[in-house]
Amino acid sequence: MDKNSSVFLTEVDTYLFGQGTNYEIYNKMGSHIAIKDGVCGVYFSVWAPAAKEVYVVGDFNEWKAYGYDCKPVSDGGVYDIFIPGAKVGQFYKYLIVTQEGEALFKADPYANSAQLRPETASVITDLGQFEWSDSKWIQNKTEEDHLKVPLSIYEVHIGSWKKKNNGTQDGFYNYREIAVELASYVKNMGYTHVELMGIAEYPYDASWGYQVTSYYAPTKRYGTPKDFMYLIDYMHKEGIGVILDWVPAHFPKDAHGLANFDGSNVYEYGDPRKGEHPDWGTKVFDYSKKEVTNFLIANALFWVDKYHIDGLRVDAVASMLYLDYGRTEGNWIPNKFGGNGNLEAVEFIKHFNSIMKHKFPNAITIAEESTAWPNVSGNPDTDGCLGFTFKWNMGWMHDFLEYMQLDPYFRKFNHSKLTFSLRYAFSENFVLVLSHDEVVHLKCSMLGKMPGDLIDKFSNLKLAYAFMTGHPGKKLLFMGQEFGQWNEWSESKSLDWYLLEDSMHQNMKDFTKKCMLMYKKYPALYGTDCNPEGFRWINSNDRNNSICSFLRLSEDGKKNLLFVLNFTPVVREKFKVGVPSKGKYVLVLGSDEENQIKSLTPVKEECDGFDYSVFIDVKKFGISIYEFNITKKKI
């Protein structure tokens, strides 16, 4: 048998592909180095079910189609060809002749590398021979309970986190260069993971990577596939997990991409009422086709298998679930029951989550889902459950930001915006998010959203992050907001790192770091995130004072935390707060730690439904977080 003969498609491969269950199809489809009859070359295969003819053209044949026609492998529309002499690094495309005789030059849907935009060819690549050093990391992740470990995510757009050339033009750092600096920064700040925007290749910078043309290729903007492997491996060595944004909801109409791939609707629904997003100008994947869902599910597995990714944040899940998403009345097609749920997309999502869990239990999946669709997170093998590990808590985000932007005087009239999220906090496995979407396009940066003068803005932002840290749910914060970026985020510019020369911004960064380190230190903040026994209000109804007080409780009753947060600029001296235990309460984080009492001793006075009380001098926009132990598990 020839070396690398395993890359050639078999009857079994094409059958499973047609059934939507060839989960490692990426090892066969696309372009792969192979030896046939003793000759070294490249094996190409592609799915083009409505094509009249299929050719491969590239550097190896001077882009001439004659003699390089692909042959059908099966009746399912899969074509292949072996080209002697083709080699790694050469550019290529598929020339597809439609039934009408039109010639289409298409990038390879399964290509592992692509040219840097604005060029659009695929690149022959060998993903082997990278020496990974993270086997222990992956094993540990496989054995952990993802719900009971800390998950604090630093959302990053590599191209604008930092730039060369004084931030002008592209100025991109290579994956290898950014790995060292980014890992050091994230580790120092106390985050557990980074979430990378825009990694799968895309043509238009301003899409931020959410309009993908090459799903199996890391973007060339920052280097080669091996460079990207280095970044992941280095992050793992430094104890940092890596989550990728993944976009199985839609794709752009670029001529070299998936749209009308062989002159017909191959990857997209044919009816525009189902197959196009009118708001985005993109195509919607046809989840009824097994080959399409195989393409997507295999792609998700590919990133975990080949690149050791720790998880996928799935973009725009709501747009997949609802047939009327972004569509006006009469411009969408109901499902067979007359409803607006996309039943095919639901089955695809369940299939994806189930296979991911069973093949790669080390990896997590996170849904960006903005509606009240039930059971988004949970066991994917349970009826009615979509099966994501976590769901973004968009309801909390909207209410909380509306509350924080209010003049403090009006907060007492909107107190429920602060507290309502606890009514549903345990209905899903949530991640609290303050993402890139909240600091772009006239939305203001996080610091810019805060009311008041300069000092009050910083005080309010610290208060916001303290509340976010204490609220049940894993955490995500977009880059730049940890130090109080003033400008809205733009993919074309570096973050304003010069702000850290100002003591207020440096102090803001230091406070965010304290929040992240506190979060990782205390199991009460992460071990019971998805368990209602891990949270208890002390007083959720003190709207007149706009003071919010609650407990975060550990499973063993040790190292619990008391939060008392003042959302007004009014000082409350010797403010009485009910507490569950008579032991010492020791300050672990405060807004004015030098002038705050370092420990409190409760007195036997009933308050807030508890037998004991403490008296706290609550500062202006005050943050008071105390550690305590309890002798009884139940309180």
| pLDDT per residue as tens digits for the range 464-507 | 999 999 999 999 999 999 999 999 999 999 999 999 999 999 99
Residue of 195, 276, 291, 368 marked active site: 368
DSSP state of 142: H
Give the span between the Cα atoms of 387 and 10, in whole angstroms.
32
**Which residue has 């086997």 as its token pair?**
135
| pLDDT per residue as tens digits for the range 209-222 | 999 999 999 999 99
Cα–Cα distance list, 22 to 28, 297, 542, 567 (Å): 10, 9, 57, 54
The pLDDT of residue 634 = 56
Spatial CB neighbours of 95, under 8 Å, sequence gap ≥ 6: 54, 55, 56, 57, 65, 103, 104, 105, 106
Cα–Cα distance list, 229 to 10, 201, 209, 307, 521 (Å): 29, 15, 19, 6, 30
The pLDDT of residue 2 = 45
Sorted by where each starts, the structural domains of the chain and their CATH numbers stand as 5-123 (2.60.40.10), 149-526 (3.20.20.80), 532-628 (2.60.40.1180)
Give the span between the Cα atoms of 236 and 63, in whole angstroms.
41
pTM: 0.96
pLDDT-based confidence at residue 635 (cuts at 50, 70, 90): low
* Residue closest to 530 by CA, chosen among 451, 471, 443: 471
Could you give the angle at the alpha carbon of 591 between the alpha carbons of 585 and 592, nearest 5°? 85
- Residue range 136-162: mean pLDDT, rounded: 97
* Residue 257 scores a pLDDT above 60: yes
The pLDDT of residue 633 = 52
Cα–Cα distance list, 42 to 8, 31, 85, 87, 116 (Å): 10, 6, 7, 7, 22
Structure tokens at 594: 């030098």
Q: What is the residue-averaged pLDDT of the chain?
A: 96
Catalytic-residue membership of 11: no
Give the span between the Cα atoms of 155 and 526, in whole angstroms.
19
The pLDDT of residue 233 = 98
- Beta-bridged to residue 587, according to DSSP, are 626
| pLDDT per residue as tens digits for the range 514-529 | 999 999 999 999 999 9
Give the span between the Cα atoms of 382 and 360, in whole angstroms.
18
**Which residue has 């008391």 as its token pair?**
562
The pLDDT of residue 169 = 57
Residue of 305, 315, 438, 482 marked active site: 315
DSSP state of 371: S
Give the span between the Cα atoms of 388 and 350, in whole angstroms.
8
Catalytic-residue membership of 402: no
Contact between 156 and 197 under an 8 Å Cβ cutoff? The reply is: yes
> In 269-278, which positions are buried (b, 16+ CB within 10 angstroms) versus exposed (e)?
beeeebbbbe
3-state SS class at 434: strand
Three-state secondary structure readout of 404-429: HCCCHHHHHHHCHHHHHHHHCCCCCC
How many other CB atoms sit within 10 Å of the CB of residue 350?
18
| pLDDT per residue as tens digits for the range 605-622 | 999 999 999 999 999 999
DSSP state of 474: E
Contact between 331 and 279 under an 8 Å Cβ cutoff? The reply is: no
pLDDT-based confidence at residue 1 (cuts at 50, 70, 90): very low
| pLDDT per residue as tens digits for the range 406-464 | 999 999 999 999 999 999 999 999 999 999 999 998 899 999 999 999 999 999 999 99
Spatial CB neighbours of 460, under 8 Å, sequence gap ≥ 6: 404, 450, 451, 452, 621
Spatial CB neighbours of 145, under 8 Å, sequence gap ≥ 6: none
